Structure formats: structure tokens, C-alpha cells
Amino acid sequence: MSKINPKAEATLEKDENEIANRQTAGLSQRQIVIKRFVGHKAAMASLFTLIGIIVTVFTATGIRVGGESFGFTIPGWWPYSITDIDPEGAIASMCNGGVTGCPTLDLAPAFMDGDGVKFGNHPFGTDIIGTDYFALVVRGAQQSLMVMVIVSFLGILIGTVVGAIAGFFGGIVDAVLMRLTDMFLVTPVIVIGAVIGFRFGNLGVIPLALMLGFFAWMGLARFVRTEFLTLREREFVDAARVAGASNRRIIFKHILPNAMGIIIVVGTLLMSGAILIETSLSYLGFGVRPPDVSLGLLISEYQGTFSISPWLFWWPGALIVSIALCVNFIGDGLRDAFDPRQRKHISIKDRKRAKEMKRLNS
Amino acid sequence: MRCYRGQGVDLLQYVLRRLGMMFVIVFGASFLAYNLQAYSSNPLSAFTESTEQNKSFLIAKMIRDLQLDVPPPLRYFSWLRGIVGGLWGDFDMGLSRNNIPVIELLAQAIPVTIKLVITATFLAIILGISVGMITAIRQYSRFDYVMTFISFLLFSLPIFWVAVLLKEFMAIQFNDFLADPNIPPATIITIALILGFIMASFVGGSKAQFLTVAAGGAAFSAAALTFMSGSNWFLEPALGIFGVSFLALCNAAIVIQLISGLDSKKGRIAGFGTAVSIAALYYPLQTLMSANASLVNVLAIFAVTISVGLTIGYFVSDIDRRVYSRISFFTAFISTFPIIIDRFMQEFPGYMNSDAVNRRPVPTLGQNNDMLTPEQLENFWVAGLDTAVHLVLPTIALTLISFAGYVRFSRGSLLEVLNMDYIRTARAKGLTERTVIVRHGMRNAMLPLTTILVNDFAGLLGGAIITEGVFAWKGMGQLFNDALRGYDMNLFMGVFVLSATLTVLANFVADLLYGVVDPRIRIRK
């Protein structure tokens, strides 16, 4: 860290403000947010990784639309499913004395170990009864992603409605709604989740996620309420009211768009939390049950065989971590993008470009 | 309670109103939980596949015992009567399904859970806050980016996954390593380089300074590791008088730098003087730590060292007595830990070679070793060591997980404070950078942290359910697990009400504390 004398610091700060202002000149609020988000490298990389994971996971084994008796299946590009047991006699031909099939994935290029990059029939190996492990992990990831989406959608919806009503109307409505929020809030989510999962876990992942969603809104409701409390005192709300706008119009047109930042940011936290909750519940046996598959379930099933077949343990964990990590980074990028106080870090490149422009202008 | 002066009546009113609210919230939450659990579980499902002759009799008996014919919302009130009975001294949480009073089960479980989480919580707080504040001071440095990435990574880790990895690498492979505790030179060099860079990133400074510190740190770590590997240190660990004095001096340096700055002569005398006298007390204190010692002896040791420290602080200073007393107090308090740890280490070879341990000291499961002899259990230090080794894995797992939250929160908090006008004023007054950051920055940044600290202690149960399951500890989490699987309504409600009450109380205490530490906050009338 180089020492900066106060005078230089003052001019530097002025410069930085100028650079920051010039970067956002003539753009609408939404454009500024998008521009800032796109400039956040870690968030953009995470966004693309997450999209990649989602696309891979949902196209691989196909999706069943509708129930058992009706509906149709969109076929996937992966040849095996979680119900194909030992499709090619993979166990017998494999390592570990035929206990589990070894992974055929080999990412080390030819010049390193001479085998070359290849995926093989079972890139993630097979499990104890010979089911393709890639299909299992993909199925687990689908479940986790669905939980993530449903829980965060419900959580955001309920949380926003409760928080908005409490914050906007205040008084007795606020007091009642907030005490209600506190009642839900005193219980750790995992406790409520365990109770719900114990009952709904065997019905499949969607009922579980729906129920979890009803207990995931409290944190957001508090944030939204605080935001509404400050926003409703602002001049533009008074102006709208004087102009004769109805409460509904003020809430939806004037306040909600300004509270979008906090909703989106807390929403992403909710998403990564939901994934960890679902996998933890399944790990404990309160969530998704066999014969269905979940990432947490796979880990709890194969933690004991770590020393013989570590890949059965690594892959589901790696997927949980990468999904949660991507969501967290995207959330961080969104927070930076939505926070007007947070000045973007001015890189050396920006500064050089600004100097260049100044020189050209003069 | 400075800020409440002259508003005693208001405060009383406020406290009473909050207490009333807390009753309402706990009542509502327990009603919700009771019904949720009652409607989502069906104890009779155990009989659906039963082929016993007296099946219908058993079903009728269970319905009568568990009052299943009463609808849950009404059944709740018969449970509530036992709780409300506490008002006239007739408190009753009911019996568990094994006919053990719930309150007894809770009394057994609470200390276990507290033992499990307390070390991890303190470690996470201390490490998290210091790392978070350093990243804030060096915002946008390489250290900041690396720590940001690491804390996001830790945020995203499921604790049960970390636990399995720890069991494999920290326990099984470390135990294997102890069979032949020699570190190969290549590993020593790698570890030393990594440690050197970590130390240098903490210290910071210009590039030359960074490299000097990194090289020095690496050389020191390499020397230490070579010594440890060559002298069988891992089998016969000890700090000895040299280790204790070295740690005491390092600790004194940090404490002095934080409180008065290393350039203060009196600060140096107070801090280093205390450190030297603690080291000198090493041999005399051993007499206090015999095999039949107890917790009282440990407290006595702290009393001795702290009073020595405070005496030094008192005589060093004539003005600013509080500052120098604080330096010697913290130096003495923290430097006492190595002496006690050293005493535990002295028992390690014997413990490790005993039949119960069989040369594999780091366990993967359980809260104590059942096979220890009565003689070993009576020895305070062996029993303590046994608890300590069982705590290693859960503590690392819990620390890793909660560390990230503190890093992010304290970083954000300090950054916000450093942007305030009073920091600019402090700089403009010509105060040193150390004073600006420590006194004006860090102190104010700590204020909002009180809230999450208190809440974290209350949220123990949530964390304990998974951790206790993975490491097979029998605490609150395990109790909750049993209650859920065994359709044990009274037990379930016991655990629930305890944790709900703790959370509500913690929120209340946090709000009050916040008012005390931050005079800007006034209670609302």
C-alpha cells in the first residue's frame, strides 16, 4: 500500500467521483444497475456457470411433465437413468473388486498421463448396485434447484407482501404483522424444516419445497418493512399522494420499484440458504427419501465408503458447493450494483482511460 | 446504564412491555409448533404393519396415553398448563415417552450442547472479526479478494460434507501420520511458504516489507516444523518454558499495539513486563496443577497471573492508569492459556499410549472415550484432554462455517464506519493512523456486532441438530431428533420452548445492550 498525502488524496477522490459520474452519465437507474452488475467479474462468471449447470442438469436425463399416469416426458441426451440398474454390467468389469464402478472421466490431457481426455460410459462411476452415478447426481441437482426456486419464490412473495403492508400502513397492522413474523422467526429454520420434512419428505420434493417456502419469508419481510418505512416518508411519495394517486398505485408504482434492490439481494441469500437446508434435511433423513434421489441423501449414503470410492462422495458435494457459491457471488454482484453508496472500485485501466479522454478533450 | 439516566420510569415501562410481548410471542410460536408437529406426525403409523394379536388393545392404549382423541389445539392447553404452573411454583414440562421428566433430559443435554459450541463460537468470533477488520482496512488488496472468496466458499459449504472431509483428513489420516510422525522436507517447505504468506498478508505494508515478512515467517515456520518433526514433538508435545515465554511476548506485542501502540514506553514496560513475569511463574504454577487438580485450581492460576499483571500495570502508570492496566490485564489473561495448554500436553503421551486410545488420539465420533480407566477419569488433566480431542473435529467444522459470517459482517461494518465524517475529523486532527482505526473505527464498528453475537448464542440449537448428528454427541440437537422420530410431544415441546425462549430473550438483551453501548440509541417512548 503506497502512502498517499492528503492533498493528492483529495484530488484523487475528486477524480474518482468524476470518473464514476462520467461512467454513468446519461443512463437510467436500471441501465446503471445492469452496467454495474455486468462489470462485476465474479458475479458474471458465476451467472454463466450457474446457467451452465442448470442447462446441463435439466437437459441430461429429461424432464417428466405431469404425474405418473398422465403427462409426457421430454427425453434427455444422457443414455442412462436412475432406474437403469447396471446397464452394461459395469460393476463386474470395474475396480474395487466389483463393489462400485470406477469413474471413467479423465480430464488429464494426453501429454500428462498418456490416456487423453475422455468421458467414457460412466464419467462419475456407478454406485453400489451399478446405477450410473452421473444420472443420480443430475437427478439430485434437479431436486435441489427446484427447491431453491420454489422456496425463494414463495419466500420473496410472502415476505414482500407482509413487509410492504406492515411498512406502508404502519400502526396496528404493522404491530400485528411484525409480532406474527417474530413468532415464525423464533424457531430455527432447520427445526421447522425437520418437522415439515418428516411429514412431507416422502411426498417428493415439490410439496416439501412448497411447505418450506411458507416458513422462509420472515427475514425478507423485516427488510422490506424497514425499506418501506423510510421510502414512504420521501418527497416523491408525498408528491404522488397530492397528485391523487391511490395507495395501490403508490405501493406498486412508486415504492416497490425502489425497494427492488433489497428484495433481490435478500432473495439470493434465501436461494443459497434453501439449497443448504434441503440437502441438510435430506442428509438427516427428514427430506427427500429413497427411492428418490437428493444430493444430501447421496452424501449420507456414501460417506462411509469414502476411503474405497471417494468419487461417490465428492461429486454431490461439489455440486452443492458450486451452486451455492454461484448464487452467493451473484447476490454479491447484485448488492454492489443496487447500492448507490457503494462506489465501484476504479481500476487503473479506468483511470488511464479517463486521463486519456481528459487530454483529448482539452 | 449511563444513557438511561433520568428516564428510569420509561426504561421500566419499556422492559415490562417487551417482557409482555415476549410471552405473547413464545405462546404463539409454541402453539404453532405444537399443532404443526401434532398434525404432521402420526404415532399410530407404527401399528399399520403390526401383526400382533392385541393390536387394537395397543392402539387404544396409545390413544389413551397420548390423549390422541383430543384435538391438538385443545391438547396444547393441557401441555401449557404445566408450563404456566411455573407461576405458582408447579412447573411441569411433562414426561417423555420413556417416562423420564423432560426437564431432566434437558438439564443433561444443555451442558453438552454448550460444551460443543462454545469454543467454536469464540474462535469464530475472534478470528472472524480480526480477519474481517483487516480486509476492511486493506480493501481491494489481494488479501481482501482472497478472504472474500474464502468466506463465500465457507458460506456455501454444507456442514455435514465438511464433517466427513474432516473425519477423513484430520482424524484418520492424522492418526495414521502419528504412527511415523516425520514430515518430508518438501511438505515442510510448502507449509512454511504458505504460512509465511499468510503472516505477511496480515501485516501488510509495501512490497519489500511484504516479502521480508513472508520470508521471515516462512523461515521461522520451516525451522519450527523441522524441529517438531525431528524431535518427535507430535508424540510428546510440549510448549515448555521457551514456548510459553515466546507466546507471551508475541501476545504482549499484539495487545500493546492495539491498546497504546508499540511506541509508548510505558505500554511496552506494562505489556512485556507482564509477559516476562508470567513466563517466570511457569515453574511455580506447576505446583498448582497436580493430578488431582480441579477447575478451582485453574481459576486460581488465572487469579494469580491477572493479579500479577494488574500490579505491574498499576506501578508502571501514574496517569492514564486504565490504559496500562488494560494492557497488563489482557496480556496476563491471554498468556495464561499457553501455561494451561502446556499442562494438558504433558499428559498426552500417557493418554495416547493407554489401552483406551491405542495410539489413535483424534476420534471421529462421540463426546468422550468410554474405555478410559477410572484412574484416568479422576485425573482432571487426562479427562480434560479426552474432552479436548473429542472437540477437535466439531470445533473446526463449526468454526469454519460461522467464521465466514463474522468476516463479512465486520468487514462491512468497519468499511461503513471508516467512511464517516468523524473518521475524517480524527485524521484531520493529526491522530496516528493506529488511533484512528483502533479507537475511532474499530470501536464503533463493533457496535452492530453485539446484535449478531447475542443472536448467535441463541441460535445454538439450529446448528447443533446437524453437528450433533454427524459427530454423535448427545445434546439438545439429538434430543430434538429423538423427539421427532419417536413422536414424543412433550420432549419436542420442551426443546422447542427452551430454544424459542432463548432466542426471544437474546433479542431483548441485544436491544438493551445496544442502548447501553451506543449512546445515540434512545428507547422509543
Report pLDDT digits (tens) over B172-226.
888 888 888 888 888 889 999 999 888 888 777 778 888 898 999 999 999 998 8
Reported as a single tens digit per residue, the pLDDT across B138-156 is: 887 878 888 888 998 998 8
Q: Taking the CA atoms of chain B, what radius of gyration do you get in angstroms? A: 27
Is A192 part of the contact surface with chain B (CB cutoff 8 Å)? yes
Establish if B307 belongs to a structural domain.
Answer: no
In this structure, is residue B508 part of a structural domain?
Answer: yes
The candidate with the shortest Cα–Cα distance to A10, out of B428, B40, B360, B415, is B428
- Closest approach of chain A CAs to the CA of B342, in angstroms? 34
Whether B76 and chain A come into contact, CB under 8 Å, resolves to no
pLDDT value of residue B316: 85
- Tell me the chain B residues in contact with residue A300 when contact means C-beta distances shorter than 8 Å: 160
Is A7 at the interface with chain B, CB within 8 A?
A: no
pLDDT score of A344 more than 80: no
Instruction: Judge whether B35 is closer than 8 Å to chain A, CB to CB.
Output: no
Whether B226 contacts B178, CB under 8 Å? no
Do residues B450 and B513 both lie within one domain? yes
pLDDT at B1: 39
Mean of the pLDDT values across residues A207-218?
86
Topology of domain A145-338, per CATH? MetI-like fold (1.10.3720)
Q: Across chain A, what does the average pLDDT equal?
A: 78
Contacts of B291 (CB under 8 A, 6+ apart): B379, B380, B381
Share of chain B above pLDDT 90, in %: 13
CB contact under 8 A, B158 and A345: no
Nearest-angstrom CA–CA distance, A260 and A229: 14
CB A138 within 8 A of CB A61: yes
Decide if pLDDT at A257 tops 50.
Answer: yes
Q: Is the per-residue pLDDT at B129 higher than 80?
A: yes
Give the distance from residue B140's alpha carbon to the nearest chain A alpha carbon, in angstroms: 8
Cα distance from A210 to chain B (closest Cα, Å)? Answer: 15
Q: Where are the domains of chain A?
A: 145-338
Beta strands per DSSP E along chain A: 63-65, 72-74
Contact: B29, A184; criterion CB under 8 Å: yes
Beta bridge partners of A63: A74
Taking CA–CA distances from A186, the nearest residue in chain B reads: B500
What is the least distance, in Å, from the CA of A179 to any CA of chain B?
A: 7
Amino acid at site B400: L
CB contact under 8 A, A186 and B500: yes
- Length of chain B measured in residues: 525
Q: Which residues contact A152 (CB under 8 A, 6 or more apart)?
A: A213, A216, A267, A268, A270, A271, A274
What is the number of structural domains in chain B?
2
Quick check: A200 contacting B, CB < 8 Å? Answer: yes
Q: Do A296 and B158 touch (CB under 8 A)?
A: yes
Name the residue facing B33 among A187, A189, A306 (closest C-beta): A187
Residues of chain B contacting A198 with CB distance shorter than 8 Å: 40-41, 484-485
Residue A9's pLDDT is 53
CB contact under 8 A, A317 and B481: no
pLDDT recorded at residue B2: 42
- Residue among B311, B354, B352, B358 nearest B331 (CA): B311
Please report whether residue B250 resides in a domain.
no
Helices A133-169, A205-213: inter-axial angle, 10-degree rounding: 20
Residue ending a domain, choose from B231, B249, B269: B231
Cβ-proximal residues to B463 (8 Å cutoff; 6+ apart), any chain: B117, B159, B398, B401, B402
Are the beta carbons of B499 and A188 separated by less than 8 Å? Answer: yes
Of all residues in chain B, what percent carry a pLDDT higher than 70? 94
d(CA B104, CA B113): 15
User: How far, in Å, CA of B198 to CA of A158, rounded?
Assistant: 45
Whole-number pLDDT of residue A92: 46
What percent of chain A has pLDDT above 70?
Answer: 70
Contact B40 A303 (CB under 8 A): no
Residue B4 is predicted with a pLDDT of 46
**B404 & B482 share domain:** yes
**A84 min Cα distance to partner chain B (Å):** 27
The answer to whether residues B509 and B456 belong to one domain is yes
pLDDT of residue B265: 87
Contact B46, B68 (CB under 8 A): no
Tell if the pTM clears 0.90, that is, is over it.
Answer: no
Residue A346 near chain B (CB below 8 Å): no
B131 and B223 belong to one structural domain: no
User: Do B186 and B153 belong to one domain?
Assistant: no
Instruction: Work out the mean pLDDT of chain B and round it to a whole number.
Output: 84
The reply to whether B284 falls in a domain is no
User: Residue B221 sits in which domain range?
Assistant: 182-231
Cα separation values, B139 from A1, A228, B204, B444, Å: 10, 31, 12, 18
Q: Do B40 and A180 touch (CB under 8 A)?
A: no
Nearest Cβ partner for B500 among A187, A283, A345? A187
Name the residue facing A194 among B160, B484, B499 (closest C-beta): B484
Which DSSP string corresponds to B129-158? HHHHHHHHHTTTSHHHHHHHHHHHHHHT--
> Any idea which of B93-102, B274-283, B385-394, B494-503 has the lowest mean pLDDT?
B93-102
Q: What is the per-residue pLDDT across B185-198, written as a single tens digit (0 to 9) for each?
A: 888 899 999 998 88
B524 vs A152 pLDDT, higher one: A152
- Are B93 and B494 in contact by the 8 Å Cβ rule? The answer is yes
Please check the confidence at residue B237 and state whether its pLDDT lies above 90. Answer: no
Question: Residue type at B415?
Answer: L
Residue listed under C-alpha cell 419436542:
B492
Distance CA A136, CA A61 (A): 9
Those residues with Cβ within 8 angstroms of residue A206's Cβ, 6 or more apart along the chain or in another chain:
A146, A150
B152, B167, B431: best to mutate for the A interface, most A CBs within 10 A: B152
Judge if B111 and B226 occupy the same domain. no
Structure confidence by residue, pLDDT tens digits, A99-128? 556 666 655 555 555 555 555 666 677 776
3-state helix, strand, coil in chain B (%, to 5): 80, 0, 20
Mean pLDDT for A69-93 is 62
CA distance B172 to B362: 8
How many whole angstroms separate alpha carbon B466 and alpha carbon B110?
Answer: 16
Position A243 confidence tier, pLDDT thresholds 50, 70, 90: very high
- The answer to whether A226 and A174 have CB atoms below 8 angstroms apart is no
> What are B397-426's pLDDT values in tens digits?
888 888 888 898 898 889 888 888 899 899
Do residue B158 and residue A283 have CB atoms under 8 angstroms apart? yes
Residue B329 inside a domain? The answer is no
Taking the C-alpha atoms of residue A294 and residue A144, their distance in angstroms, rounded to an integer, is 7
- The predicted pLDDT at position A164 comes to 92
User: With 50 as the cut, is the pLDDT of residue A3 above it?
Assistant: no
In whole angstroms, what is the distance from residue B295 CA to residue A140 CA? 50
Together in a domain, B479 and B411: yes
Q: Does B484 touch chain A (CB under 8 A)?
A: yes
Look at B343 and A289; give whichever has higher pLDDT.
Answer: B343
Q: Tell me the pLDDT tens digit for each residue of B301-328.
A: 999 999 999 999 888 888 888 888 999 9
Q: Is B23 an interface residue toward A (CB < 8 Å)?
A: no
CB B275, CB B249: distance < 8 Å: yes
- Look at residue B26 and tell me if it is in a domain: yes
pLDDT for A28-67, tens place per residue? 777 888 888 888 888 899 999 999 998 888 887 766 665 5
Matching residue, cell 399443532: B35
Contact A186 B481 (CB under 8 A): no
